[in-house]
């Protein structure tokens, strides 16, 4: 964990363990245990076997999954999905599968990897909309949480902009069944099948929807927007994380990036990061971040090393603004436009101290044609003795 002056943090409730093909961050909180697991394929491990390994781990932990996100070839999805338990109150996390190809040094693996979040020692309820389980809800005693996954539009024949609108409406409907609404969404993940073809129109739909729902200051969700196909063949698939404070000691707010301008300045409706702050835990949810400067312009054109270096500097500075660093990362996904860039990216991550991070690296399309690298992450740390004021 980050080294701070004595007495600035209580004894850490976070424990990190590593075993072949798994990095596991365990957070022992006041009223529950959180498990953040990142699975990568073992040598010669099939997608079916990896799914069984995920299931076995969660069963042995007596933990209920609340979020599952995997990156792999679409052809691997049916076998993987068939080896997971069916959706139920004991398994309420839909699997969000994105077409993301493995990168060196394991380009022949069945999939790039999987992130799972699970909780134990607390009650979890499925979130239903129109009779379908779209996610899970639970409380940590300070915040009520709702996590939604694999949300796709209902009409595959509609124009893409219409389907984007319907996807946001499905997210809103699911949140409402759990007693929340879109103004309480802290984080979204939005994967477009052909992002370079229709990202501008998608952004217009998102902006209009947010205005209608009064999503805006003091909270605009952090977000990732990446090009990746999904097994349903839909133009996009979405995930969301919403939270409702239960008392004044729990707070949620945007965190500005010291080195990048707000994304709305160039037409994208998301914040650089969001912090969930409770008396026992500081959680930072950082948006997908690429090599973009303080004016919103892309940097390091055609130079992946320069892009990675700038991105890591931006992220490190953002985390430091809240007293955290890369050693506090609990989940990370690196998106590479070209799999051949992986060795250079691995080297840069190792130099930054992210070699042992719970990371999935996958080939996918970043939202600007000139950008070859994007990194998103979550970070966790015990809250200092007194809550720091949010920006």
And the tokens for 114? 């999987």
Q: Cα 167 to the chain's mean position, in Å?
A: 18
| DSSP structure string for 80-111 | HHHTSPPSBTTB---EEEEE-EE-TT-TTSS-
HSE toward the beta carbon, residue 337, CA cutoff 13 A: 20
Q: What pLDDT is stored for residue 13 in this prediction?
A: 62
| pLDDT level of residue 30 (50, 70, 90 thresholds) | confident
Q: At a CB cut-off of 8 Å and minimum separation 6, what does 153 contact?
A: 162, 163, 164, 166, 167, 170, 234, 235, 236
Give the confidence band of 389 by pLDDT, cuts at 50, 70, 90: very low
Token pair 């390994």 is found at 53
User: Which of 218, 194, 189 has the alpha carbon at shortest distance from 206?
Assistant: 189
Residue 318 pLDDT > 90, yes or no?
A: yes
In whole angstroms, what is the distance from residue 8 CA to residue 311 CA?
Answer: 28
How do residues 129-175 score in pLDDT, each as one tens digit?
A: 989 999 999 999 999 999 999 999 999 889 999 999 999 999 999 99
pLDDT at 265: 83
Q: What is the pLDDT of residues 177-235, one digit of tens each?
A: 999 999 999 999 999 999 999 999 999 999 999 999 999 888 999 999 999 999 999 99
Which pair of tokens denotes residue 134? 């779209």
- Looking at residue 5, what is its pLDDT? 37
Per-residue pLDDT for 2 more than 80? no
Higher-scoring residue by pLDDT: 4, 125: 125
Strands 64-72 and 95-99: parallel
How confident is the model over 282-310, as pLDDT tens digits?
999 999 999 999 998 999 988 999 999 99
């Amino acid at each position: 964990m980050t080294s701070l002056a004595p007495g600035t943090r209580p004894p850490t409730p976070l424990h990190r363990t590593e075993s072949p093909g798994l990095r596991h961050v365990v957070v022992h909180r006041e009223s529950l245990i959180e498990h953040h697991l990142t699975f990568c394929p073992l040598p010669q491990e099939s997608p079916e076997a990896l799914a069984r390994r995920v299931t076995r781990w969660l069963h042995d932990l007596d933990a209920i999954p609340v979020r599952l996100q995997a990156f792999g070839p679409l052809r691997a999805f049916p076998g993987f999905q068939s080896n997971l338990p069916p959706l139920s109150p004991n398994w309420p996390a839909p699997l969000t599968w994105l077409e993301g190809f493995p990168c060196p040094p394991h380009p022949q693996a069945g999939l790039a990897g999987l992130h799972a979040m699970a909780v134990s020692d607390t009650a979890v309820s499925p979130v239903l909309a129109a009779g379908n389980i779209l996610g899970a809800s639970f409380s940590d005693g300070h915040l009520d949480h709702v996590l939604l996954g694999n949300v796709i539009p209902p009409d595959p024949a509609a124009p893409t902009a219409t389907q984007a609108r319907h996807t946001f409406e499905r997210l809103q409907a699911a949140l409402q069944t759990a007693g929340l609404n879109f103004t309480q969404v802290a984080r979204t993940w939005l994967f477009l099948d052909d992002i370079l073809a229709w990202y501008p129109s998608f952004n217009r739909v998102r902006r209009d929807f947010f205005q209608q729902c009064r999503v805006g200051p003091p909270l605009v969700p952090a977000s990732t927007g990446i090009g990746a196909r999904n097994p349903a063949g839909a133009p996009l698939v979405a995930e969301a994380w919403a939270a409702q404070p239960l008392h004044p000691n729990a707070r949620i707010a945007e965190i500005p990036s010291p080195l990048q301008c707000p994304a709305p300045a160039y037409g994208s409706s998301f914040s650089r990061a969001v912090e969930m702050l409770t008396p026992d835990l500081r959680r930072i949810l950082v948006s997908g971040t690429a090599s973009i400067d303080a004016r919103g312009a892309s940097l390091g054109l055609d130079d992946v090393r320069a892009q990675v270096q700038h991105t890591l500097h931006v992220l490190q500075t953002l985390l430091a603004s809240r007293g955290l660093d890369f050693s506090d990362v609990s989940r990370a996904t690196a998106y590479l436009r070209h799999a051949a860039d992986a060795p250079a990216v691995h080297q840069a991550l190792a130099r930054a101290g992210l070699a042992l991070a719970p990371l999935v690296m996958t080939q996918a399309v970043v939202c600007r044609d000139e950008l070859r690298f994007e990194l998103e992450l979550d970070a966790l740390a015990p809250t200092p003795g007194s809550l720091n004021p949010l920006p």
